[in-house]
Structure 1
């Protein structure tokens, strides 16, 4: 294979410079792991999805951050199925995808792509709120009363409640401390959220810090929002199983995620293709 076609797609937005950009590479069966890692590093998106044939589902996806392979990625999944539908590569509205986190359902509803998340896993962590506040660059009293808890619907993130939108917007994390805290609690990211929002129709406003993946801050994070949905449901904080969440505003990459936390966890949203090209190998 002399060259590889790629797409860059902004997930959770319809705007060209908003949302979370993901790389998408179709027909990736002939690529070895090292080549996929090099392509992900070259594209410099927080994750790049590689589309392959599957014996267990309609397609198989592998995800690579600039540093390593990850089991599941929400925004790269939304980007991938947007690309497949936009290009006429798929006709079905309901599909199965094979990932390292399991075989998950995809549904395309109009312009929105919804992806099923893995079954939630909850884990208590042994960490002091003072340590969390110091990593985030805020005062301990600015943290909310909800428990700091590790949750996974495909990837573990640490859910951290903050009282006010102003605190979330102004925080300047110490990323070396964030790394150490992620290692200590065995999570991939710190997911900070507040119930004060910019958009009136959103339930939560959040930021995601994931330096272990080579991404200090991720603009709009599908799997972490899915994990937060499971967390909010567990703690009785949802009045309706579907809600809208906002993220990426502090980075100028605003995005909106639809979260469903009913019998299963799903995240969904729109996407916009912003770049097409080829990488010479």
Structure 2
């Protein structure tokens, strides 16, 4: 809508299944509010033995289900090269996703200056996705909660394995007790194509 010049204001609201959320437009950057994080089950890495090579999982962080609107399993991977080389078994990912009632798996790895992700949602016929807002919103909340340094803004990259590189921005608002109260996910979009559907 921004590309088509159909946005005339700097702020909007949208009604979703989880409530009314805000959207802000600042030049080419658009942010959408997510719901406050919910931290759910911590899962053993043995659960994923048939999904991919679990020897590449980074044991520094737990594997946990986190939601800022949709539930994902957040899985840390030891290095960028391991993440890039990872060969997912989509049928097994579908089974585990169904068992844990999640949308999918969000795998990530950190270097000093970058957090890179891959997202598998085969339960919903999306074997791999190039940019996932809710998943990265959940990941930002997880990293904030589990890191000594409490950052309020994060940049995630995703989609390299699909040759569709994306940059996802996340902003957090927290109170004096370091409890996250608001989550905003955004970035720049670009127009790909236009289609007409008959209803």
Normalised by the size of structure 1, how large is the TM-score? 0.64
In the other structure, the counterpart of 1:150 is: 65
Query: Which of these residues, 80, 90, 94, is aligned with residue 11 of structure 2?
Result: 94
Classify 1:209/1:134 alpha carbon distance in 2 versus 1 (closer, same or farther; 3 Å). same
Where does the alignment leave 5 or more consecutive residues of structure 1 unmatched?
A: 1-82
Query: Which of these residues, 75, 87, 95, is aligned with residue 172 of structure 1?
Result: 87
Query: Which of these residues, 101, 106, 129, is aligned with residue 45 of structure 2?
Result: 129
Residue 234 (structure 1) shift:
1.3
**Are the equivalent residues in 1 in contact too, given 2:34–2:184 (CA < 8 A)?**
yes
Q: Distance in 1 between matches of 2:193 and 2:165?
A: 19
**Are the equivalent residues in 1 in contact too, given 2:72–2:135 (CA < 8 A)?**
yes
In the other structure, the counterpart of 1:24 is: none
Matches within 5 A, 1:238-249: 238-249=149-160
Classify 1:237/1:279 alpha carbon distance in 2 versus 1 (closer, same or farther; 3 Å). farther
Partner secondary structure for residue 48 of structure 2? helix
What are the Cα deviations for residues 123-178 of structure 1, in whole angstroms up to 9, with x where unaligned?
014x431232431x2143x2112111101101000000111111110111111110
Greater relative contact order (Cα < 8 A, sep 6+): 1
Normalised by the size of structure 2, how large is the TM-score? 0.89
What are the Cα deviations for residues 95-140 of structure 1, in whole angstroms up to 9, with x where unaligned?
1111112110111011000011111111014x431232431x2143
Where does the alignment leave 5 or more consecutive residues of structure 2 unmatched?
A: 175-181
In the other structure, the counterpart of 2:129 is: 218
Give the total of aligned pairs.
191
Q: CA RMSD in A?
A: 1.6
In the other structure, the counterpart of 1:73 is: none
Q: Distance in 2 between matches of 1:250 and 1:138?
A: 17
Q: Distance in 2 between matches of 1:237 and 1:249?
A: 29
Partner secondary structure for residue 195 of structure 2? strand
Classify 1:266/1:237 alpha carbon distance in 2 versus 1 (closer, same or farther; 3 Å). farther
In the other structure, the counterpart of 1:44 is: none
Moved over 4 A (4+): none
Q: Distance in 1 between matches of 2:85 and 2:73?
A: 20
What are the Cα deviations for residues 217-246 of structure 1, in whole angstroms up to 9, with x where unaligned?
111111100010111111125542112110
Range moving further from structure 2, 239-248 or 153-162: 239-248
Q: Distance in 1 between matches of 2:149 and 2:10?
A: 28
Partner secondary structure for residue 5 of structure 2? coil
In the other structure, the counterpart of 2:28 is: 111
**Are the equivalent residues in 1 in contact too, given 2:63–2:75 (CA < 8 A)?**
yes
In the other structure, the counterpart of 2:178 is: none
**Are the equivalent residues in 1 in contact too, given 2:44–2:63 (CA < 8 A)?**
no
